[in-house]
C-alpha cells in the first residue's frame, strides 16, 4: 500500500508540473493577444498572432488534462452519486474511469498516428510556418499522460484511497 501511495505522489507531482506548463502556455496566449491589441493602437500587430495563440491554447489545454483527471475534476452528476450507497458509488466511478481510460487510450493511439503523418508530410502553419509537430506533440502528451492519471484515479476509487492533498511545497 505504501508503494501505491508513493506512486500516487509521483503521479501527482508530474501532473502538477504538466498543469503548470499548461498554465504558462495559456498565459503566453493571453500575453500575445494583449500585445497584439495594444500594437493595433499604434498601427502594428503581432505577426502570426493566430498561429501563436492557437499553439499556446492547445498546449495549455492538453497539458492540463492529466491533472484534471488525476484530481477527479471532470464533470459528473453529483446529485445522483451523493445519494448512492458507497459501494455502488465506487462501482459506478470505477466503471466510468475504465470507460474514460479506454477512450483516452484510443485517442492517444489515433493522435500518435496523426502525429506521424504530420511529421512525414512536414506540415506547418500558414503564417509562421510553425511545424505542426508543435501542435500535435502536446496533444499526444496530454492524452498519453492522462492514462496513468486515470489509472491512479480508478485505483483510488477501487481501494478507497484518500485523494492527494494539495500542499504549498508541491
Question: What does the pLDDT look like over 14-38, one tens digit per residue?
Answer: 999 999 999 999 999 999 999 999 9
Domain that holds residue 102: 2-159
Q: Does residue 120 belong to any structural domain of this protein?
A: yes
Q: Is the pLDDT of residue 48 over 70?
A: yes
The cell numbers describing 121, all together, are 508530410
* 10-45 exposure pattern, b = at least 16 Cβ within 10 A, e = fewer: ebbebbbebbebbeebbebbeebbeebeeeeeeeee
How many CB atoms neighbour CB 127 within 10 A?
Answer: 12
Asked whether residue 118 is domain-assigned, the answer is yes
| C-alpha to C-alpha distance for 62 and 79, rounded to whole angstroms | 28
Kindly indicate the confidence band of residue 108, based on its pLDDT and cuts at 50, 70 and 90: very high
Residue 29, domain member (yes or no)? yes
Q: What is the model's pLDDT at position 155?
A: 92
pTM: predicted TM-score of the whole model, two decimal places: 0.85
Cα–Cα dist 91/12, whole Å: 23
pLDDT in tens, 66-84: 999 999 887 777 788 888 8
Residues 6+ apart with CB under 8 A from 51: 125, 126, 127, 128, 130
Q: How many helices (H) and strands (E) in the chain? A: 5, 0
Confidence of residue 159 (pLDDT cuts 50, 70, 90): confident
Q: Does residue 165 fall inside a structural domain?
A: no
| Tally of domains within the chain | 1
Tell me if 90 is assigned to some domain.
yes
Judge whether 31 lies within some domain. Answer: yes
| Residue 128 in domain | yes
Q: Using the predicted structure, report yes or no on whether residue 170 has a pLDDT greater than 70.
A: no
Average pLDDT of the segment spanning 36-52: 95
Grid cell listed for 42: 499604434
| 16 within a domain of the structure (yes/no) | yes
Amino acid at each position: 500500500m505504501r508503494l501505491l501511495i508513493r506512486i500516487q505522489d509521483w503521479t501527482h507531482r508530474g501532473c502538477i508540473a504538466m498543469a503548470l506548463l499548461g498554465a504558462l502556455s495559456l498565459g503566453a496566449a493571453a500575453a500575445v493577444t494583449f500585445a497584439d491589441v495594444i500594437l493595433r493602437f499604434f498601427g502594428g500587430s503581432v505577426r502570426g498572432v493566430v498561429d501563436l495563440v492557437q499553439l499556446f491554447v492547445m498546449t495549455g489545454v492538453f497539458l492540463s488534462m492529466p491533472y484534471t483527471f488525476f484530481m477527479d475534476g471532470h464533470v459528473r452528476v453529483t446529485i445522483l452519486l451523493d445519494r448512492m450507497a458507497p459501494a455502488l458509488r465506487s462501482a459506478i466511478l470505477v466503471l466510468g474511469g475504465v470507460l474514460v481510460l479506454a477512450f483516452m487510450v484510443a485517442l492517444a493511439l489515433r493522435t500518435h498516428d496523426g502525429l506521424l503523418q504530420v511529421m512525414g508530410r512536414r506540415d506547418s502553419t500558414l503564417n509562421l510556418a510553425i511545424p505542426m509537430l508543435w501542435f500535435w506533440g502536446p496533444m499526444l502528451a496530454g492524452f498519453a499522460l492522462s492514462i496513468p492519471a486515470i489509472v491512479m484515479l480508478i485505483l483510488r476509487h477501487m481501494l478507497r484511497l484518500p485523494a492527494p492533498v494539495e500542499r504549498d511545497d508541491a
